[in-house]
A and B are shown apart, each in its own frame.
Chain A
């Protein structure tokens, strides 16, 4: 059953985000043990559970004040910068996404890049959400995560052979298809209908162009597009995380009140 103690621990955890994770966890365990033992003693001398629960928490004072005092103590190993901390998981997500891509597609196997981008974005979103739920959200972490996602998306798009949109959205050419098309353009029908000779010619030209253009040039082209996409995604993930935290805190308070 949720209680004032549960609410207090949730609030305290939220206030202690600048504390190193390991120490924060240890402190929370220590405080929880203290609160529960104190409550148990109060119940033993005849106090009701509800009152004892409330009294134990009152002895500790406001979570924010307690956290301020704790954070005011000199730390031998201070927490990393909040912005960096907020982006740590996103960096891990990027590395994980690259690893999964390498496993799934293999380098030089000419598999579809959208798989890479989709997997990577999903990893970043999931890990970013987890990170933002645990950490305090600020402008630094927002920019850091947007930048990481931008680089990821732009590099993924730069690796495609045909730049999206060049054919007015009529056709999408992933890498595996593109290589087959280069070998025999007439064998590849369009999803929207039979491929005309002109379209086949245009695709072939674009593929040649895509093959010849250096990676860096394409990467720079997609940076702006990637930035817009990444900022949007990061903002949505942060908003979702903030709403989740808010809802979790409200539910804990409500349950404490009901208890």
Chain B
């Protein structure tokens, strides 16, 4: 099933900044392990969102001796895009429901 990955990633970041693997784990946790995002798709998406200014990446040094982590946070533009995606999804859901769940005449 094709899902709206962009909207999901933006929604996950709504709770606070996360690094790439953190986003994957959070998506799994929020969907009770039903949704697994391929990392091969995630990073290109994160880079595109960063280029578009919807998220901002920051390198953090969590602990001395540990490698630095790049965490992503939602920007104002990212919030706006998330709202747009939500509206689009609601509209899409309504339309699909009307057709898919319609009882036979």
Question: Which residues of A come within 8 Å of B, CB atoms?
Answer: 26-27, 29-34, 37-38, 59-62, 65-66, 69-70, 72-76
Contact = CB atoms under 8 A, between A and B. Distances in A.
Interface residues of B, number: 19
Contact of B47 (A38, A59, A61, A70): A70
A181 B21 CA distance: 74
Contacts of B68: 29, 33
A66 B43 contact: yes
Nearest to A68: B44
B43 A31 contact: yes
Given A34-B20, A59-B38, A69 B70 contact: no
Contact of A69 (B20, B21, B24, B44): B44
A65 B40 contact: yes
B47 A33 contact: no
Nearest to A63: B40
B51 interface: yes
Contacts of B70: 26, 29-30
B41 interface: yes
A32 B48 CA distance: 20
Contacts of B41: 69
A33 B20 CA distance: 9
Given A33-B67, A73-B51, A61 B43 contact: no
